[in-house]
Amino acid sequence: MASNSNSSAAAPPAPETPEDQYFNTNPPPKDLDRHVALARDFINFHAAAGRPLVLVTSGGTTVPLEKQTVRFIDNFSAGTRGATSAEYFLEAGYAVLFLHRQFSLLPFSRHYSHATDCFLDFLREGPDGSVVARDEDAGKMLHVLRQYRDARDRNLLLVLPFVSISDYLHELRSVTRLLRPLGPQALLYLAAAVSDFFVPPERMSEHKIQSTNAVDSVQKGNKTAPTTTDEEIFDNFDSSPAVPRSKRLVVDLDPVPKFLKNLVEGWSPQGMIVSFKLETDPTILVHKARYSLERYQHHLVIGNLLSTRKWEVVFVAPGLPDRWIRIPIHKQQHKSIADGGSAAATPAEELEPEAAAVEKDEP
Ligand code: 9Z3
């Protein structure tokens, strides 16, 4: 009897994809399993109730320079967009998974933190030694407090922190995969400021990068006293050898793989996906947003410029003209946080309500 050698032979292992390669070599955050368990329970709870779910990502991702990280590269994002949007999603009836940079702004508490005024400035001493809100702040504080308590008591907000770019990507992949069975009932709103570059693990120093050669002899096992004269290497590696190479830190970064494609095609292929595009050059913003939309084939790109992000954004969607939403000048009462203005909510920061904005379609 002829044997079918094909069916009995073990299939060769599938070649490692770039996605596997990244996730296998960049270690997951230590809390990933715990976060996944929390997210699973949260998603199941709200899916059973038929409530729509949104994953909001928020804040900046760090790029560690050392495995035992003392130094890292960071970006400007405070998490204002993500935290503010999360409040509006809650108001619209969504349950919110809030994947945010540790210590960046949170929904509700954002009104009283990271402010130029300390939160204590909103309080005063009551007649009987109690602590109460100042009269002029009490109305708004009570409103925020009620919204916060409602979200907390009804289990509508799950807050998950990340720090580094690889933490963020591990968390993002795990949570979006959990949302996959919900199809278009899940909204992914990707406002986190994601680093484009990182130090791959094979080039990352285990320990704090040294600025002198004082420990060279210790590391080499040579107990003789360290030499006090640095080797003065000047070469053609760079154009300004004013300082010898031995005293400089040259940072060499790789591009972070573009995982939006994997997300759209594999992790959550039927989810509604909104990404943000940040630029500083106004002449390329819309082009980059449209390019991202065409490349990744998702539902909406919201473009914004660093300098005007609190007052205007552009919506770029498939088959539709670009649509600008702007806060009118007279409503920009306060300077932005970046300019040192009040961090308490201002109409300008709260870009989302359409009533406060002027819309303009541009072909
Ligand atoms: C944004 O563009 C956000 O709107 C901001 C919000 C980061 C400007 P803040 O936190 O700022 O309110 O201070 N996010 C950028 C999203 C991003 O990095 N997108 C990636 C890309 O464009 C991929 S999804 O390549």
pLDDT at residue number 344: 36
More confident residue, 2 or 118: 118
For residue 187, give the nearest of 39, 46, 56 by alpha carbon.
56
346 lines ligand 1 (CB under 6 A): no
The residue whose CA is least distant from atom 8 of ligand 1 is 278
**What is the model's pLDDT at position 1?**
39
Predicted local confidence at residue 279, as pLDDT = 98
Ligand 1 within 6 A of 80 CB?
yes
pLDDT reading at 148 higher than 80: yes
pLDDT at residue 248, rounded to an integer:
83
Mean pLDDT of 64-93: 97
Say yes or no: CB of residue 277 within 6 Å of ligand 1.
yes
Q: Is the CB of 78 under 6 A from ligand 1?
A: yes
Please state, rounded to an integer, the average pLDDT across all residues of the chain: 86
Q: Is 288 exposed, middle or buried (0-12, 13-18, 19+ CB in 10 A)?
A: middle
The Cα–Cα gap between 25 and 201 comes to 7
Percent of the chain with pLDDT over 70: 82
CA angle 32, 38, 43 (to 5 degrees): 120
Once rounded to an integer, what is the mean pLDDT over residues 58-64?
A: 98
Q: What is the pLDDT of residues 351-361, one digit of tens each?
A: 444 333 444 44
- The tokens describing 211, both together, are 């600025």
Tell me which residue of 106, 103, 62 sits closest to 85, measured CA to CA: 106
Give the pLDDT of residue 214.
72
At 185-240, the pLDDT tens digits run 999 999 999 999 999 999 999 999 988 777 777 776 655 444 445 456 555 555 55
Report the pLDDT value the prediction gives residue 265, as an integer from 0 to 100.
Answer: 96
Residue in 88, 260, 277 to alter for ligand 1 test, most ligand atoms within 8 A of Cβ: 277
The first and second tokens of residue 33, run together, are 């399993």
Q: How many other β-carbons are positioned within 10 Å of the β-carbon of residue 118?
A: 10
User: Residues 4-37: pLDDT tens digits?
Assistant: 445 557 888 888 999 999 999 999 999 999 999 9
pLDDT in tens, 162-188: 999 999 999 999 999 999 999 999 999
In the prediction, which pLDDT does 328 show?
84
Q: Is this complex's ipTM strictly greater than 0.90? A: yes
Q: Output the residue whose Cα is nearest ligand 1's atom 21.
A: 277
Rounded to whole angstroms, what are the CA distances from 198 to 72, 73, 216?
10, 9, 27
pLDDT value at 154 more than 50: yes
Q: Which of 58-72, 244-258, 299-313 has the lowest mean pLDDT?
A: 244-258
pLDDT at 258 over 50: yes
Ligand 1 proximity of 172 Cβ (cutoff 6 Å): no
More confident residue, 262 or 351: 262
Q: Are 328 and 303 in contact (CB under 8 A)?
A: no
| Residue 231: count of CB within 10 angstroms of its CB | 10
Residue 190 CB-density burial (10 A; 0-12 exposed, 13-18 middle, 19+ buried): buried
Is the pLDDT reported for residue 122 higher than 60?
Answer: yes
- Give the model's pLDDT for residue 355: 34
Token pair recorded at residue 279? 């630029």
Indicate whether residue 85 lines ligand 1 (CB < 6 A). Answer: no
Segment 68-92 shows an average pLDDT of 97
Q: Is 275 touching ligand 1 by the criterion CB < 6 Å?
A: yes
Q: What is the mean pLDDT of residues 267-280?
A: 97
CB atoms within 10 A of CB 213: 16
For the chain, the straight-line distance linking the first and the last C-alpha, in angstroms and rounded, comes to 71
Q: Buried (b) or exposed (e) across 256-272, using 16+ Cβ within 10 A?
A: beebbebbbeebbeebb
Most distant pair of Cα atoms in the chain: their distance: 98
Q: Is the pLDDT score of 241 beyond 90? A: no
Any ligand 1 atom below 6 A from CB of 191: yes
Report residue 116's pLDDT band, with 50, 70 and 90 as the boundaries. Answer: low
Give the per-residue pLDDT at 306. Answer: 98
Question: Strand 123-125 to strand 254-255: parallel, antiparallel, or no bridges (unpaired)?
Answer: unpaired
pLDDT at 334: 57
